[in-house]
Homo-oligomer: A and B are copies of this chain.
């Protein structure tokens, strides 16, 4: 492995796997496949999207080809709309025609959409084959840890899926250079979230290094992704199947998912939606008697990273409330929220009155005129 590569082990017993974070890693893909014992005789399906294919697919194919692997590349349209059963069906057809067998590997080369989609193909094809993730966005650092894979239903996001851990994650920082600035910001939103739920010092570090991170400085970015993945990895290791602790990772996601659904998938980026959601959660914290500074500080940091901290006027409150009722985070009719108790720690509340949520959603529209 090249110097400067960071390696993080996600501890999940016999399903443990490493995340490699560094530069020029795609060139070593074939070597890593061999090192991890992925069988050369079984065809590989490389799933990528229309934005990524021309940038990196050739390099992945070349590296795997040199190592002796036969690779078939499937390209799906870029964007959330590809995370659906119709595209899953097409990919399974491609896998069958390429002769993928039970010892084959499916690779996700792309962002979170490609990871979730290809991951569910890997989880369900022949009832489960091997899976390797090659994230090409900052946001995907989140979905690359924990094995949650899924597609959307027209009524709800991520509702059809599985828990399916990868063999390893190859995080080539060079691929992040091509990201649009809006996606860089949205990706860093999820990185900061990991600090907000677990690690106050890391939030302070992100605050101090905002300029370097937004400028995609490799070493800073490598460190931030390592720390972000580490928080997620600790949480997931303690609760693989999302029975309790893992729910803290959903900070900002209840409001965030509802905003994405109401705005129309893709209008608000996921990282943007959850930034607004995290400000909302921090305001809920004040209702429960925690310091009002949590909300002020949360809002200040996200604004510093150029992220939205107000609900767009186009999303009406009734629509947002209704979308939340469909959200899977509501068990047995109660409203459940992850609420910060300080910067760097959270608790799960299952006693949140929906009237508070409605007031906070309304309040998150105030001040839109001055933004």
Alpha-carbon distance between A272 and B6 when the two chains are bound, in angstroms:
57
Interface residue A328 (Cβ < 8 Å from any Cβ of B): yes
Of the candidate stretches A74-82, A122-130, A202-210, A290-298, the one touching chain B is: A122-130
Segment touching B, from A93-101, A107-115, A173-181, A308-316: A93-101
Please report the C-alpha to C-alpha distance between residue A101 and residue B336 in the assembled complex, in whole angstroms.
Answer: 13
Which B residues touch A101, using CB under 8 A?
328, 330-332
The reply to whether B163 and A128 form a contact with Cβ atoms under 8 Å apart is yes
Do A162 and B92 touch across chains, with their CB atoms under 8 A apart?
Answer: no
Which of B97, B127, B148 is close to A161, meaning CB atoms less than 8 Å apart? B127
A154 & B93 in contact (Cβ 8 Å cutoff): yes
Residue A155, interface by CB 8 Å: yes
Task: Given the known inter-chain contacts A89-B85, A89-B153, A153-B92, please indicate yes or no for A328 contacting B97, CB distance below 8 A.
Answer: no
How far apart sit A127 and B151, CA to CA, in the bound complex (Å)? Answer: 10
Name the interface size band of chain A: 35 or more
Closest partner residue, chain B, to A101 (CB atom): B331
Judge if A42 is at the interface, Cβ distance under 8 Å: yes
Binding site for B on A (CB under 8 A): 39, 41-42, 85-86, 88-89, 92-93, 96-97, 99, 101-103, 123-128, 148, 150, 153-156, 159-163, 241-242, 326, 328, 330-333
Mind listing 26 A-B residue pairs with CB under 8 Å? A39-B332, A41-B332, A41-B333, A85-B86, A88-B160, A89-B153, A93-B153, A93-B154, A93-B155, A96-B155, A96-B156, A96-B159, A101-B328, A101-B330, A102-B328, A102-B331, A103-B331, A123-B162, A125-B159, A125-B160, A127-B150, A127-B163, A128-B162, A128-B163, A128-B241, A162-B162
